[in-house]
Every structure is written in structure tokens, then in C-alpha cells.
Amino acid sequence: MKPDPDLHLVLGGARSGKSRHAEALARQAESAGARIVYIATAWAGDEEMRARIAEHQARRPASWVSLELPDADFALADMLRAQAAQDRCLLVDCLTLWLAQHLCPPPGVPARDAKAEVDALLEVLPGLSGRVIFVSNEIGLGVMPVGAETRRTVDALGRLHQQLAERARRVTLMVAGLPLDLKPLQGHR
């Protein structure tokens, strides 16, 4: 019987240190013998996003395999299924962009059913082996957005976070570069 996947959800606001923390967790896994597969979800739609992507790429060790999600239906679920292995640690950065790109696709990208994409992601999780670290922005802590599209994105991301947190062995909230363990609670490991 395949062991349950070791899922870790790392949440935080913009520039909270969530990606750096997730990368540090991946480095620890690599030190313990795991092969690291970095799954990048962002599509470079403008110069500022290209600069952000380049910053992330520059931090990754040469020993890591870096994969970019293709513009295809169920790409994240399919890539997780294909890449997960007992001797690997998959780092998915980030779910916020992944979901937002499905809810509000950039020009030239076909619209996809975001709910079906989320369902496919959640469905694939129990069958994965090894370790998976998900990075995502906790965007629901501020004031209620005015626009309907923004509210829809905040709501969908909040639901996704709850569903992932329920399935994850560990959940960490990053605030000002500091990791706060939400699950398991410190002292309850």
C-alpha cells in the first residue's frame, strides 16, 4: 500500500517569505536525499512578472529540476501525478497565480473551468508519494474587495486553502519572514 503523501502548505502575504521558506524546506529534503522538482505555475504576461520569475529562478540550486506548467487542461494535476515519487520533493510555487490564471486568464490563453482544475488537483493528492510543498498567498485577510472578479478569486482561493489544509500534514503561515506552524501546532507533533 502506498503511504500517504507528505503535503505541506505554506501560506503568507506578498513578500512574507513564503517562497524562501518553502525553498529552505526543499533544501532540507535534498540534504536528506530527496531529488527536488520545482513546479512553476506563473505565466509571464508582462515585464514585471518576468522579473519576478527570474528572481525565483536565480535562487534555485542547479541540482533542482525546474518545470513550468504548460498551457493545458489539468496540467498541475497531471504534472504532480507524473513527477511524484517516494525519493522526491515537489515544490509548487504558487497556487495563487495558478488559480487566478484559470479564473481570469491572460490575453490569448483560453478560459478553463477553474472548479474542474481544483477538483482534479484535490483528486490526485491521495495517490501521490513522496513530499509535496505548496506555496500560496493568503489574500483573504484584508478588506472585502469591491470588484466581483476579485471577490470570486478571494473566495475560490480561500476554499482551496481550506481543502488543502485539511489534507496536509503541515500548514505554515509566514508573517514578516517568520514561520508560524498552524498544523501541527507547536508542541503537538
Residue 189 lies in a domain: no
Nearest in space to 10 (alpha carbons), one of 90, 93, 77: 93
In DSSP terms, 136 is beta-bridged to 11
Residue 179 lies in a domain: yes
Residue 35 lies in a domain: yes
What domain range is 179 assigned to? 6-183
Say what the pTM is.
Answer: 0.91
What was the pLDDT predicted at 120? 98
Residue 131 lies in a domain: yes
56 an active-site residue? yes
Q: d(Cα 164, Cα 168) in Å, to the nearest integer? A: 6
**Other CB atoms within 10 Å distance of the CB of residue 141:** 8
What was the pLDDT predicted at 4? 60
Cis peptide preceding 89, ω within 30 of 0: no
What was the pLDDT predicted at 186? 56
Query: Residue 65 in contact with residue 43, Cβ under 8 Å?
Result: no
Residue 67 lies in a domain: yes
Strand order in the sheet with 178-183: 65-68, 35-40, 88-93, 131-137, 6-12, 170-175, 178-183
Nearest in space to 168 (alpha carbons), one of 127, 139, 126, 114: 126
CATH number of the domain encompassing residue 75: 3.40.50.300
Point out the catalytic residue in the list 21, 56, 102, 161. 56
Count of structural domains, the chain: 1
Q: What is the mean pLDDT of each run of 10 residues along the chain (189 residues)?
A: 76 94 97 97 78 82 93 95 97 94 82 93 96 95 80 93 96 97 71
